[in-house]
Amino acid sequence: MRGKNNVIKEMLSRINEFNEEINIIELSSVHTADVEKYLLKDILNNNINIISVSGCPITLIPAFYIDYLFNLSLKEDVIILAYSDLLKIPGSTPDITLGKAKDKGANIRVIFSSIDAINIALHNHTKKVVFIASGFETNIGSSVIAIKEAETIGLDNFFIFSLHRNMEGIIRYFLENQNKKIDGLILPGNFSLVMGEEGYDFLNSYELPSVITGFSFLDILSSIEIIVNQKINGTGQLVNNYNLPMPYEGNKIAKGYIKEYFDIDDDFNRALGKVPGSVYRLKKKFDKYNIDKIYPLEEYISKLSIDSSNNEQCEKVMKGAILPLECLCFKKQCTRLNPIGPTMASSEGICFVVSKYT
Amino acid sequence: MCIVMPLKVMEINGTQASGEINGMKKTVRIDLIESLEEGDYILINAGVALSRISKKKAKEIREYIDEMARL
């Protein structure tokens, strides 16, 4: 322990010798938690700015998709299955959540794995069972496994609603829409378990210090040091600082599944507007599993429009323009128990994470 | 869901493997992993194994998760 503390102390000392302004983006709740828990902003000098943007894929779901699922669950004889955080995400108002639909009698259940959805469909063959497939590429293999199982068994009451997000599309948005110069990027490590270091190759064109980072405080601090050193040397390269041995190309089976079942497409993202190449849609040949083809979106929401959450402050937090503490509602009207926006509703949202440590 | 959990594989049965997390038996899908053996450690997310890891790494990740949970 003493050895580790000394390593951290020396690393901090080296980083703090650098006195130019440096702006670093991080987009994972694991890294946001490290920043907050270890008071990183206090122990780094003021010239080093860590900007948290909302990379939690649940927070990026447009409000009108939540409205769709809310209305669908109350109007049709369906069972909606989702990972737990999705139940708290607000739609176009904070009163529209899947959790509140459940309170009104909708058949909505929390699951922990996509295969739970298959088992529920098997036991409820008179109902349409809808699995809400959310997350970045890390989760898509899980969704494909469920669809393959449905194909094998010949299930005709299993459907998915794909809300999967594309990491490259989202990162490109955050890099290209900042109001200050960005000098470095701390990248989620788990994505590379599936997509490999290769999945972040697109960043080479930005010539920006970009570091695939593990989950511990030492990991994030060493990544910051790598970024500072690259800035000093005038280089801008992708570095793998995630200390898990994995093939450069990632998980070939998972990548093959993603390619076989999904297409990358443009779509709306909450607070960000329409972002090119930011989502995954189930390929046309799997339309029979796509709930949107059975119950079209436009029949269950009042208008298909660009998402405006009517919450400017929430949008600013999501884009990294303001800190959660600078939002007037933070921990007052908007709390973990009664969230207003998605970044407080999701347990991996910036506001939720920051509120735990402040 | 960002969280990955380490699991020691105790039993393999076709596309499923089972092990223990926090004293509870856990069954996961291993469709995405090539050639897995009993005694291997895997990283799981949403009920699916994403990668094989070393015992040492599994312990480190476990300790980190426990530390974060204590806050």
The answer to whether the CB atoms of B4 and A116 lie below 8 A apart is: no
- Give Cα separations from A178 to A157, A172, A208 (angstroms): 44, 11, 14
The per-residue pLDDT for A304 is 53
Joined tokens for residue A287: 């339309």
Q: How far apart are the first and last CA of chain B?
A: 19
Residue B10 to residue A52: CA distance in whole angstroms: 39
Q: Which residues contact A70 (CB under 8 A, 6 or more apart)?
A: A91, A96, A97, A98, A100, A101, A106
Contacts of A194 in chain B (CB under 8 A): 50
Give the nearest partner residue to A244 out of B3, B34, B57, using CB atoms.
Answer: B57
Q: Which residues of chain A form beta strands (DSSP E)?
A: 22-26, 48-52, 78-82, 108-110, 128-135, 158-164, 184-188, 210-213, 238-241, 262-269, 273-282
Q: Which residues contact A56 (CB under 8 A, 6 or more apart)?
A: A29, A342, A343, A346, A348, A349, A350, B2
In Å, how far is B1's CA from the nearest CA of chain A?
A: 6
Contacts of B62 in chain A (CB under 8 A): none
A145 and B CB contact within 8 Å: yes
The per-residue pLDDT for A224 is 97
The answer to whether the CB atoms of A251 and B32 lie below 8 A apart is: yes
The per-residue pLDDT for A194 is 96
The answer to whether the CB atoms of A215 and B61 lie below 8 A apart is: yes
Residue A97 to residue A110: CA distance in whole angstroms: 13
Half-sphere exposure of A296 (CA within 13 A, CB side): 5
**Longest Cα–Cα distance in chain A:** 66
pLDDT per residue of chain A (358 residues) written in tens, 0 to 9? 567 788 999 999 999 999 999 999 999 998 999 999 899 999 999 999 999 999 999 999 999 999 999 999 999 999 999 999 999 999 998 899 999 999 999 999 999 999 999 999 999 999 999 999 999 999 999 999 999 999 999 999 999 999 999 999 999 999 999 989 999 999 999 999 999 999 999 999 999 999 999 988 999 999 999 999 999 999 999 999 998 878 999 999 999 999 999 999 999 999 999 999 999 999 999 999 999 999 999 999 986 544 555 688 999 999 999 999 999 999 999 999 999 999 999 999 999 999 998 8
Q: Name the nearest CA neighbour of A224 among A40, A3, A27.
A: A40
Indicate the DSSP class of residue A87: G
The per-residue pLDDT for A306 is 47
Can you name the residues that pair with A274 across neighbouring β-strands?
A268
Q: Which residues of B touch A (CB under 8 A)?
A: 1-4, 28-29, 31-34, 43, 45-48, 50-51, 53-54, 57, 60-61, 64, 68, 71
Contacts of B7 in chain A (CB under 8 A): none
Contacts of A349 in chain B (CB under 8 A): none
Q: Please, is A348 exposed, middle or buried when counting C-beta atoms within 10 Å of its C-beta (0-12, 13-18, 19+)?
A: buried
Q: How far apart are the first and last CA of chain A?
A: 26
**Which of B3, B50, B60 to mutate against chain A (most A CBs within 10 Å)?**
B50
Token pair 């007037």 is at which residue?
A328
ipTM comes to 0.92
Given its phi and psi angles, is residue B53 left (phi above 0), alpha (psi -120 to 50 degrees) or beta? beta
Pairing mode, strands A210-213 and B48-53: unpaired
Q: What is the reported pTM?
A: 0.94
- Give Cα separations from A113 to A110, A132, A211, A264 (angstroms): 9, 11, 30, 23
Q: Name the nearest CA neighbour of B20 among B38, B2, B34, B35.
A: B38
The per-residue pLDDT for A310 is 64
- pLDDT above 80: residue B20: yes
Token pair 């650098």 is at which residue?
A18
Residue A297 to residue A54: CA distance in whole angstroms: 25
A36 and B CB contact within 8 Å: no
SS3 A89: coil
Q: How far is CA A98 from the centre of its chain?
A: 18
Between B36 and B1, name the one with better pLDDT. B36
Joined tokens for residue B64: 């980190």
